[in-house]
Amino acid sequence: MKIVMSQTMQEMDRRTMEEYGIPGLVLMENAGRCCVEEIIRHFGHLEEKRVLILAGKGNNGGDGHVIARLLLGQGWQVTLLVLAEQEQIRGDAAANLELLPHDLPRFRTGEAEFSSLHAVDFRQADLIVDAMLGTGLNSDLGGVYREAVQLINGSGKPVMAVDIPSGIHGSSGRILGSAVKADLTVTFACPKLGHVLYPGAELTGRLVVKDIGIPPALLEQAPGFQYLDEESMAPLLQRRDRQGHKGNYGHCLFIAGSTGKSGAAALCANAAVRAGSGLVTLGVPERLNPILEVKTTEAMTVPLPDSDDGHLSGRAFHEIVRLLEGRDVLAIGPGIDRRPETVELVRNLAETVELPLVIDADGLNALATDMSVLKWNRSTATVLTPHPGEMARLLGAPLPSEQADRIELCRDFATSYDVYLVLKGARTIIASPDGSIAINSSGNPGMASGGMGDVLTGIIASLIGQGYEVRDACCLGVFIHGHSADLVARDKGEVGITATDVAEMLPYARKKLMERNSPSAIRYA
């Protein structure tokens, strides 16, 4: 599914009306009707059907007027508060206001604050509809809008937001002053960035996207970002059609581990097995090999020349190059250290290896010491999987605190260095060398614990080894990593779930997604 900025949506609106001749009134009627469909679906069971609709002065408010009319027609008791003077209401919104019983709407009178706002007991409503502000929000909420947000959020009642919760900036997810916390948001044509980036994602509640008649050609042409959800990932779930021989599901080579961080090495190797690799080889400092022999079963381990305290030595380079024979992908970084010898080893491998290369953790910090090595012109793909701290080191500058500001930065980095960049975080961003951006929908705060990144590295390397296009491997890897964590959190809660839990859940996550998304998939007992 595609995510767009607010201004892109407004441009699609404009072109729909001007180039396709679909009147705004039709779009507004469709928007209102779609909202009512979802109100009936989610709140139709309510005993009492008293709805309080708050409408702004623009077309978001106009959607609210349509909703009022349609719910009246279905027997709901409607209270409509218009947070503007009647004279301020224009165009399609005014036309829909005219269609309402004249005693229904209550307006803000003059410049005096809206006395009736406090006269209305929000707790008397069974449902509150927020039709105050949508994609036209352009400044911090103040005055009566701010009051309305406080009354809505303090009402303890179910809230449905029209298009986007008022106060959320549609193109960033930022809260402008204050914002409505919705249980359900009904948006039109496609999700906006403000729905999926935090804190907007948090306040959006359940997001339902409805078709209101925007021509598909406009949607296809619209600039936007791919949203990694079950629907968009479903086509990737079918394994590459190989003959089922272990040699046909790829052979991954991991270079990982150092004293005290043998767990990271085990996690990436075991995750690759769980993600479906045919064969996995794990190269580790010699002294750690007996430990990893125990911590891994399906993965083969290879002891590499190390220093006398269990850290990779530069002498490992030739042994690693020998190991590349017959492997489909190399991943380096989980659990390695930042010693100069290791940094040099990583950089030499990066310049030498002809395989697709996944670099994570201190492997990234090795690159950050001199970014010129990133101008490799490598013949095969390079995937970098930094968390925000590692990304800041790669940039040599602090990272913007908000995801919305990181998107363009990731795009620029991926295109200028010709790499696939996976910037981990709440809504992980995947940027490709062609400039395309994908934003992940899965995952939860329980993933903020050690080892989760090692598991993701294992998954992405595994999928590349299985023959996935690198971009698909990054997108599916990120999505199924988060989805597995969501399944674990559903069973165990978010506190205390481990990277091992997530890796163990991978086959089940894939199975459930296949069962839900592709009828032709094998139906398991």
Judged by CB under 6 A, the stretch of 51-59, 347-355, 357-365, 511-519 that binds ligand LP7C6HRI is 51-59
Judged by CB under 5 A, the stretch of 114-122, 128-136, 214-222, 497-505 that binds K ion is 128-136
Residue 453 interaction partner, one of K ion, ligand LP7C6HRI, none, beta carbon < 5-8 Å per kind: none
Is the separation of the CB atoms in 254 and 283 below 8 Å? Answer: yes
Q: Does 9 participate in binding ligand LP7C6HRI (rule CB under 6 A)?
A: yes
Confirm or deny that 61 is annotated as ligand binding. Answer: yes
502 closest CA partner among 461, 468, 454: 454
| Residue 187: φ, ψ to 5° | -115, 170
Give the nearest distance from C-beta 167 to K ion in angstroms: 8
Q: How many CA atoms lie within 13 A of 195 on its CB side?
A: 28
Q: What is the number of other CB atoms lying within 10 angstroms of the CB of residue 476?
A: 25
Confirm or deny that 136 is annotated as ligand binding. Answer: yes
Complex with ligand LP7C6HRI: residue 58 or 283, whichever CB lies closer? 58
Is the separation of the CB atoms in 79 and 52 below 8 Å? Answer: yes
Complex with K ion: residue 53 or 503, whichever CB lies closer? 53
* The two structure tokens encoding residue 229: 């959800």
Give the nearest distance from C-beta 144 to K ion in angstroms: 15
Complex with K ion: residue 105 or 134, whichever CB lies closer? 134
242 closest CA partner among 282, 280, 277, 281: 277
Q: Does 163 participate in binding ligand LP7C6HRI (rule CB under 6 A)?
A: yes
Residue 403 interaction partner, one of ligand LP7C6HRI, K ion, none, beta carbon < 5-8 Å per kind: none
Give Cα 74 to chain centroid, integer Å.
37
Give the nearest distance from C-beta 18 to ligand LP7C6HRI in angstroms: 13
Judged by CB under 6 A, the stretch of 25-33, 288-296, 401-409, 489-497 that binds ligand LP7C6HRI is 25-33
Contacts of 451 (CB under 8 A, 6+ apart): 263, 264, 267, 498, 499, 500
Complex with ligand LP7C6HRI: residue 64 or 333, whichever CB lies closer? 64
Q: Which residues of 191-223 are buried (b: 16+ CB within 10 A; e: fewer)?
A: bbbbbbbbbbbebbbebbbeebebeeebeeebe
Give the nearest distance from C-beta 29 to ligand LP7C6HRI in angstroms: 9
Count of H helices and E strands in the chain?
A: 20, 18
Give the nearest distance from C-beta 8 to ligand LP7C6HRI in angstroms: 10
Q: Does 272 participate in binding K ion (rule CB under 5 A)?
A: no
| Residue 285: φ, ψ to 5° | -55, 140
Q: How far is CA 23 from CA 32, 91, 132, 163, in A?
A: 14, 11, 22, 19
Give the nearest distance from C-beta 415 to ligand LP7C6HRI in angstroms: 30
Q: What share of the chain is helix, strand, coil (3-state, %, to 5)?
A: 45, 15, 40
Give the nearest distance from C-beta 163 to ligand LP7C6HRI in angstroms: 4
Residue 145 interaction partner, one of ligand LP7C6HRI, K ion, none, beta carbon < 5-8 Å per kind: ligand LP7C6HRI
Confirm or deny that 60 is annotated as ligand binding. Answer: yes
Confirm or deny that 352 is annotated as ligand binding. Answer: no
Exactly one of 55, 151, 162, 503 binds K ion (CB under 5 A); which one? 162
Q: How far is CA 229 from CA 98, 319, 426, 436, 483, in A?
A: 41, 41, 14, 16, 9
Give the x/- contact pattern for ligand LP7C6HRI in 128-147, rule: CB under 6 A: -----xxxxxxxxx---x--
Complex with ligand LP7C6HRI: residue 137 or 409, whichever CB lies closer? 137
Q: Which residues of 101-136 are buried (b: 16+ CB within 10 A; e: fewer)?
A: eeebbebbeeeeebeebeebebeebbbbbbbbbbbe
Q: What is the number of other CB atoms lying within 10 angstroms of the CB of residue 229?
A: 17
Q: How far apart are CA 302 and CA 353, in angstroms?
A: 18
Q: Does 62 participate in binding ligand LP7C6HRI (rule CB under 6 A)?
A: yes
Confirm or deny that 418 is annotated as ligand binding. Answer: no
Q: Does 203 participate in binding K ion (rule CB under 5 A)?
A: no
Residue 56 interaction partner, one of K ion, ligand LP7C6HRI, none, beta carbon < 5-8 Å per kind: ligand LP7C6HRI
Residue 64 identity (one-letter amino acid): G
383 closest CA partner among 306, 476, 312: 476
Annotated binding residues, written as ranges, equal 59-63, 130, 134-140, 145, 163, 166, 264, 335, 387, 424-428, 453-454
Binding footprint of K ion on the chain (CB under 5 A): 130, 134, 161-162, 166
Binding footprint of ligand LP7C6HRI on the chain (CB under 6 A): 9, 13, 27-28, 31, 56-63, 133-141, 145, 162-163, 188-189, 212, 214
